[in-house]
Structure 1
Amino acid sequence: MKRAVIVRAKRTPIGKKNGILQSYHPQELSAPLLSQLAVGLEENVEDVILGNVTGPGGNIGRLAALEAGLPLSIPGFMLDRQCSAGLEAIRIASYFIQGGAGKCYIAGGVESSSTSPFQKRARFAPDSIGDPDMLEAAEMVAKEFEITKERQDEYALLSYERCWAAFDRGNFEDEIVPIDKLDKDEEFLKKRNMEALLRRAKPLFPNENGTVTAANSCGINDGAAAVLVMEEETALSRGFRPVLRFIDSQVAGVHPFYPGAAPIPAIQVLLKRNGLTVKDIDLFEINEAFASKIVACAQELSIPYEKLNVSGGALTIGHPYGASGAILVTRLFYEVQRRNNAKYVLAAIGSGGGIGVAVLFEAV
């Protein structure tokens, strides 16, 4: 069986909805990434796979490839698995390589919430089951797993402090491809007093003894991220250094009321099938849509915070839905290169409708 490896990974800065990236459409956010990832391989890329959630519809994968000036022979396609879309794109590209369908793919995701033509979200579940908004679902996760506001706030503050420390160390500079002259996440233009914000923030559902607040939840954002996935022998023959080797993945479904908990069974099945435990995984990147989700996943899987989202995540820099899964992999790509002893790393994300995707990589 062929082995898929990731040899390049990049993301744009992340902007807030109607913020620094508000005038950029999805193809305009994606094109600089595709151009940089394809350098020297323009005639070898066999497809561009991009996840997207909020539109505008059409084939953004093809549109972005054309916007980037890539050869007309590269077809491109778009997929939507809600917040899991960017990670699903990388998963699909890896399986294409394993199955011998191709040797070189660009995969990731993009979101331009600012330019989306859709004012309402898509349905996650039929009325017969119930279709809560994500904030309501985050509260349901907190209640189901008995996660207090204090624990959520504690994690949100930890994530914020980690994110700023990583930014101050320059850790994000290698990740980012500038959009025109924009070269840093909007969050880092001004530091907030997060401790005070968390203390003052009121529950969004006070009549239900709520625990989820605007301060321990992610924002709505714009941004893109993608990776270059190659067949390992081809990568080596072309002089590339593989950084992450795709090992396996798992998708799981849970009740649509608890999308934040969906990574739990996906990770459990994935580890068991590969004869691994949480102790064997050196780094976890789990998307920080809500602090309730991360605390629940860490609690149920016994993941120590020392291994989890070590440079912060979406609670600070934001959650551009379709791109977020690819941002997780991009973060792992650079984090393992700063370490000498990492062996296994894992990216996971939960999505609307109660879907969890988990991907296991080996550091090469």
Structure 2
Amino acid sequence: MTAQIIAACRSAVVPRGGAFAALSLPDLGAPVLQAALRQAGIAPAQVDEVIVSNALGGGGNPARLVALAAGLPEHVAGLSIDRQCAGGLDALLLAKALVESSAAHVVIAGGVESYSLRPQRLRNFPDGRPPEPYDQPPFSPWPDRDPDMAQAADALAQAYGISRADQDAWAIASHRKAMGACFSAEEIVGMEGQTNDPFARRMSPSLAARVKPVAGSITAANMAVAADGAAFCVVVSEQLCRSLGHSGIRIMGGATKGDQPELPGIAPLAAMRATFDQTGLSARNIACAEVMEAFAVQAIACVQGSDLDPACVNIGGGALARGHPIGASGTINAVRLCHELRKTGGTGLATIAAAGGIATAVVLGA
């Protein structure tokens, strides 16, 4: 029995401070969850569990807030997870495990993130010093193996010989593909007047070349902007999928793997290898892929290292042309993949790297 995705939708992805800046996590997530239920033809009372990835919300149980705000019954407890950027795909794998073990029949899996409203972080000291604000929490117990993310991306570029010009060209192509894409109302739930990702724009090599570096070859033009967004998939059993008359998207397999903490951008290669071993597939079987573009260099390194066909990667543009709502980004990639597979058929791959040197890959089949 293979778990099936029978509905997949997302909000637009809006850079922080934009149209979603005033929306709390439940305000941002509940309309998308409700739209996914409508697409699935599932009543709220049929939902067994809601799994929500969130990385910046400051704790608590955002899944419970979103579930209640969406009008789900109080018996739906909600499960919140934080595996940073990888959490949105991990939510899907958890949903698959629940459904295929018959522990649940209907699971809504996704992610929601408000970069605009993330709480401020303060580090306390035992000697009585005033609390000190910080931005990035530790992702490794060893400071010398826990770099800033932009510095880690530049180290990856140096290690793999990927130039700034290569990275800028990838970013330009991402924006171009996004500008030419047509996203359906079934994919993007209109909220706050946003029915498309507003960040996509026309870029040129000369424009990208004028952007000042953040770290070595890494610039604001070839790294994704911080953003707000939400995405959800409705995951059910094959039997329920058939009884509802859906043509589902199969969750064929997936894996989360760790790699070098100081080079998180290359971790998807380990996750892809494990996923291909698990499913008996290879890069040659992949008709469509959504590879996370937190940085252009990590997408380039992962495509080259996995032998994926670049022509099948991020067909409608990637995070460089949208933005990066951390905990939601993995599910956004999965939603994008579902809608591409409904058009093209075949087998698809979604993969994403996360801070600390971990990554998740998921294979879906139409």
1-structure distance, mates of 2:63, 2:236? 18
Match of 1:73 in 2: 75
Matched, 1:176 2:188: yes
Match of 1:158 in 2: 173
**Which amino acid in structure 1 is aligned with residue 231 of structure 2?**
A
1-structure distance, mates of 2:28, 2:13? 10
Match of 1:198 in 2: 208
Matched, 1:270 2:270: no
Query: Can you list the C-alpha shifts for 1:74-95, whole angstroms capped at 9, x where unaligned?
Result: 1111000000111110110011
2-structure distance, mates of 1:282, 1:140? 31
**Given the superposition, is the C-alpha separation of residues 161 and 128 from structure 1 closer, same or farther in structure 2, using an over 3 Å criterion?**
closer
2-structure distance, mates of 1:182, 1:138? 31
Report deviation, 1:36.
1.8
SS at match of 2:46: coil
Query: Can you list the C-alpha shifts for 1:141-194, whole angstroms capped at 9, x where unaligned?
Result: 11121111111111111111111110xxx2254311122433222215xx4444
2:7 and 2:37 in contact (8 A); partners too: no
1:55 and 1:118 in contact (8 A); partners too: no
Matched, 1:232 2:238: yes
**Which amino acid in structure 1 is aligned with residue 141 of structure 2?**
P
Match of 1:36 in 2: 35
Matched, 1:91 2:89: no
Mapping of residues 209-224 of structure 1, within 5 Å: 210-224=216-230
2:50 and 2:109 in contact (8 A); partners too: yes
Report deviation, 1:303.
1.6
**Which amino acid in structure 2 is aligned with residue 221 of structure 1?**
A
Match of 2:152 in 1: 137
Moved over 3 A (4+): 191-196
2-structure distance, mates of 1:108, 1:186? 21
Task: Return the match for 2:301 from 280, 285, 296.
Answer: 296
SS at match of 1:204: strand
1:298 and 1:304 in contact (8 A); partners too: yes
SS at match of 2:228: strand
- Alignment TM-score, normalising by the size of structure 1: 0.93
Task: Return the match for 1:351 from 330, 354, 365.
Answer: 354
Report deviation, 1:202.
2.8
2:286 and 2:308 in contact (8 A); partners too: no
Report deviation, 1:217.
0.5
2:351 and 2:362 in contact (8 A); partners too: yes
- Alignment TM-score, normalising by the size of structure 2: 0.92
1:160 and 1:194 in contact (8 A); partners too: no
Task: Return the match for 2:118 from 99, 116, 120.
Answer: 116
2-structure distance, mates of 1:278, 1:79? 29
Match of 1:247 in 2: 252
1-structure distance, mates of 2:343, 2:256? 29
2-structure distance, mates of 1:57, 1:251? 22
Match of 1:8 in 2: 7
1:54 and 1:118 in contact (8 A); partners too: no
1-structure distance, mates of 2:197, 2:183? 12
SS at match of 1:38: helix
**Which amino acid in structure 2 is aligned with residue 103 of structure 1?**
H
2-structure distance, mates of 1:327, 1:48? 16
**Which amino acid in structure 2 is aligned with residue 135 of structure 1?**
A
SS at match of 1:346: strand
Which consecutive unaligned segments of at least 5 residues does structure 1 have?
none
Match of 1:286 in 2: 291
Match of 2:26 in 1: 27
SS at match of 2:136: coil
SS at match of 1:319: coil
Task: Return the match for 2:319 from 314, 317, 339.
Answer: 314
Query: Can you list the C-alpha shifts for 1:213-248, whole angstroms capped at 9, x where unaligned?
Result: 110110000000010001111121123331x10111
2:113 and 2:230 in contact (8 A); partners too: yes
1:325 and 1:349 in contact (8 A); partners too: yes
1-structure distance, mates of 2:152, 2:346? 34
Report deviation, 1:20.
1.2
SS at match of 1:250: strand
**Given the superposition, is the C-alpha separation of residues 151 and 181 from structure 1 closer, same or farther in structure 2, using an over 3 Å criterion?**
closer
2:47 and 2:72 in contact (8 A); partners too: no
2-structure distance, mates of 1:151, 1:192? 17
Amino-acid identity (%)? 36
2-structure distance, mates of 1:159, 1:173? 21
**Which amino acid in structure 1 is aligned with residue 275 of structure 2?**
L
Match of 2:337 in 1: 332
Q: How many residues align?
A: 350
1:49 and 1:76 in contact (8 A); partners too: yes
